[in-house]
Chains A and B, each alone.
Chain A
Amino acid sequence: MTGLSGVPEGVPQIRRGIGAIDWHRLTWQMRRSPLAVVGLVIIILVLIAIVVVPAWLPIDPNRINLRARLAGPSWVHWFGTDEVGRDILARVLHGGRISVGVGVFVVVVSASLGTMIGGLSGILGGWLDTLVMRLMDVVLAVPSLVLTMALAAALGPSLWNAMLAIALVRIPVYVRLARGQTLVIREADYVKAARVFRATPLQILRWHVAPNILSPILVQATLDLGAAMLMAAALSFIGLGAQPPAAEWGAMIAAGRNYILDQWWYSAFPGGAILLTAVGFNLLGDGLRDIIDPRQKARS
């Protein structure tokens, strides 16, 4: 029976459909996937470094000291200083908040919007579905960096606009994913039953579809965190992303490229930070996919 709130009663087993998350199984499997564990450890360390450490590190990332410009790594400045004497360690740590924050924002926005659109499109079907999917095809047909560049240029170069642009470009991926899964689930008996009981499409999405498509979305989202971060860095690198004096990793590499011959530390540390963080997200996402992907699960 479906209650007033649309909560299905008496059918708890459907929560563990093809794509539902089994946390117990997940943690058990994680131990068997060393790469995923490495990824997880990296992410935890990076998060500690960028969230906790700056709180008690007494260095202002934007303080200029023209007398200490372009100083190499030392006990005072572990990562050296930049062309106006700012401490690169402090900037890398603070910049991480921006870079990782961009990744999280983009993924949360595009995954939730994309899942909603894709799920509803799949449930409703018909011409609306066709229209939505064609539109997504068109968006997917434009090379993503070009679209983000054009959007960032149109809306004005700022980190916020770059984030919106990247989120927009990532939406179709989730729409397709969610719709594909929804089409399968739609035909399940319990969903047909819910329809008979006049559940609204939103209710079906919330109570029947969403729990079942969550894990592929989660895997995709984890993988996307790294990609979104890299894309934001790329936009900043060509001047369409984060603006001064904000420390963002891509922008720091862009500024440091002119000093790369004599002051390697300027671009090496932010570059290494991006690489490390993206590796963390991708290892974790890869491992999760291996564990969760039903096709591969059958063989493991």
Chain B
Amino acid sequence: MKRMLMTLGAVLTIGVAAPVSAIGATPKDVLVIGKAADPQTLDPAVTIDNNDWTVSYPAYQRLVRYESKDGKGLSSVTGELADHWTVSADGLVWEFKLKPGNSFADGIPVDAQAVKFSFDRLVKMKQGPGEAFPDDLAVTVVDPLTVRFTLTKAFAPFLYTLANNGAGIINPAVVANEKNGDNAQAWLSGHTAGSGPYQLTAWQKGQSLTLEPNPDYSGPKPAFAKVIVKIVPEASARRLQLEGGDLDIAEDLPLDQVQALSKTAGVDIGTYPSLRVTYLYLNNKKPPLDKPEVRRAIVKAIDTGAIIDGILLGNGKAMGGPIPDGMWGYDPTITPVTADVKEAKALLAKAGASGAKLSFALSDRDPNWQPIALAVQANLADAGVTVSLENLANATYRERLGKGEFDIAIGNWSPDFSDPYMFMNYWFDSSKQGLSGNRSFYSKAAVDDLIRKAAVAATQDERTGLYNQAQHIVVDDAAYVYLFQKNTQVAKRDTVKGYVFNPMLESIYNIDTMSKAD
């Protein structure tokens, strides 16, 4: 009781008398990351959201990881848990030799059994991340440090899928936390059980997550004794906290805020070209958009340059074709279309679609979608096309996309693994129509043929050639309106050193090799 009274007394004196200083730089061995929303689940076999990966990615290791060179993240991969690997001539059998000496946070070594356990679990659960892997994947333990994957069909991008968050290797000991046959999903949703440099030690729901170093991590000892992920939903508050030094990194800031921050002393804005593409789906199955001339007219009418300058404040790169710059297979000869209202009108008149009325579906998932939609609405109005905007709840919006109940819709796409397959095969294969990827409901036998060949071809040269042919066809068919690849902007305190951006790892920080200067 006395203690309670003393505590109350302390509050009254300290809390009222002393002003709370907002300028409190965080300690040198603590990194504080400000996030807009609480992660949902940390289970590698369940989460498909980069917002969750900030926490789960550094907690697990994978067979391979993305390389970086001179402070720049690359899309090529190198071994992480794997020392080296071999692949059979037909591309069906992959054998990985593991590095010895890697351990989970409870000291148990990472072996072939753990790899098998993780992939079996992933394939069995069949949730979001499992989709990137062939569903006929067979995993066998050859010896404690050798694991073999057998596919029934060649799948050229297989190696790249192994660097995914979903391919994280989980400690088989988690089965002790299994409830009602849920594969320990409820437990792994809120805990981590990996061999990565950091482990989750506390999660105050809706408020903060604390990561601390894994004592058994085999790599060099990380600089931060604690990494705190703080949930700050209000963008203006995130900016203020970064300015005040309460945050070291602030995520998801609106462009205008970033621009204002770039003039703030002590704040450092990194701008990096990303592989996140914003584009418009044109429903190829629904008249009048089933006619290529009408689609070409829409492409011609939209002033992408003005959208990038006006809405992205120049922080984007206009696209001409489906494969973005920075991904192998990108063709610089396919240049972005320049807007031409007259030509758009002429094309529409030729197709007998002048004065068409189209719907435009969007959701509030991305704050830029609404201004883009408004700009597109105005552009198309100039060409005589009336566009009505439908702002839907995200779930409803996705359902409409899946069923093809829209004329025009807007979307973002980022690759799960670093292979043009993510763009070409998902967007244009007629068997992937709907939400799975081909959201324009595009269908052409010649393209199907080319991209399916490219998915199994042995060499990258051969694959590049096939994808290139396909790109020229689909661009001519105006299957989508390719708007831009957005720049990723990372706002951080200038004391934070060693951050490496990798376009494949948005919202993921290399916290094991980052540090803070005095």
Chain A interface residues toward B at CB < 8 A? 62, 64, 66-67, 69-70, 83-84, 153, 156-157, 239-240, 243-245, 257-263
Not counting A66-B311, A153-B393, a sample of 6 additional A-B residue pairs whose C-beta atoms are within 8 angstroms of each other reads A66-B306, A83-B256, A239-B393, A240-B393, A261-B239, A261-B240
| Residue numbers in B under 8 Å from A261 (CB-CB) | 236, 239-240, 257, 260
In the complex, which residues 58-105 of chain B have their Cβ closer than 8 Å to any Cβ of chain A? none
The listed residue (B234, B235, B310) touching A69 by CB distance below 8 A is B310
B378 within 8 A of A: yes
- Shortest Cβ distance from residue B263 to the other chain A in the assembled complex, whole angstroms: 11
Q: List 10 A-B contacts (CB under 8 A).
A: A64-B378, A67-B310, A83-B371, A157-B392, A239-B364, A244-B373, A245-B374, A245-B377, A258-B236, A258-B257
| Chain B: CB-nearest residue to A82 | B371
Chain B interface residues toward A at CB < 8 A? 234-236, 239-240, 254, 256-257, 260, 306, 309-311, 364, 367, 370-371, 373-375, 377-378, 389-393, 396
**Structural contact, B236 and A156, CB atoms closer than 8 A:** no
**Structural contact, A260 and B236, CB atoms closer than 8 A:** yes
If A258-B367, A259-B256 touch, whether A64 touches B374 (CB-CB below 8 Å) is yes
Find the residue from A62, A244, A257 having the highest chain B CB count within 10 A: A244
**Structural contact, B389 and A84, CB atoms closer than 8 A:** no
| Chain B: CB-nearest residue to A156 | B396
**Structural contact, B257 and A66, CB atoms closer than 8 A:** no
How far apart are the CA atoms of A83 and B309 in the complex, in Å?
13
How far apart are the CA atoms of A265 and B260 in the complex, in Å?
17
| Residue numbers in B under 8 Å from A70 (CB-CB) | 256
| Residue numbers in A under 8 Å from B370 (CB-CB) | 244
Is the contact region of chain A dominated by helix, strand, or loop, or is it mixed?
loop
| Residue numbers in B under 8 Å from A245 (CB-CB) | 374, 377, 389
How far apart are the CA atoms of A217 and B370 in the complex, in Å?
41
**Structural contact, B256 and A243, CB atoms closer than 8 A:** no
Return the 9 tightest CB-CB contacts between A and B, nearest first.
A66-B310, A243-B391, A258-B254, A258-B235, A239-B364, A84-B371, A261-B236, A244-B370, A157-B393
How far apart are the CA atoms of A69 and B374 in the complex, in Å?
14
How far apart are the CA atoms of A142 and B393 in the complex, in Å?
23
| Chain B: CB-nearest residue to A243 | B391
**Structural contact, A84 and B375, CB atoms closer than 8 A:** yes
**Structural contact, B260 and A156, CB atoms closer than 8 A:** no
**Structural contact, B309 and A66, CB atoms closer than 8 A:** yes
How far apart are the CA atoms of A263 and B236 in the complex, in Å?
11
- Shortest Cβ distance from residue B481 to the other chain A in the assembled complex, whole angstroms: 18
| Residue numbers in A under 8 Å from B234 (CB-CB) | 257
- Shortest Cβ distance from residue B269 to the other chain A in the assembled complex, whole angstroms: 16
If A243-B391, A244-B391, A261-B257 touch, whether A64 touches B367 (CB-CB below 8 Å) is no
| Residue numbers in B under 8 Å from A67 (CB-CB) | 310
| Residue numbers in A under 8 Å from B256 (CB-CB) | 70, 83, 258-259, 262-263
- Shortest Cβ distance from residue B121 to the other chain A in the assembled complex, whole angstroms: 33
How far apart are the CA atoms of A179 and B352 in the complex, in Å?
62
Find the residue from A83, A240, A259, A263 having the highest chain B CB count within 10 A: A83
| Chain B: CB-nearest residue to A261 | B236
| Residue numbers in B under 8 Å from A69 (CB-CB) | 310
**Structural contact, B310 and A156, CB atoms closer than 8 A:** no
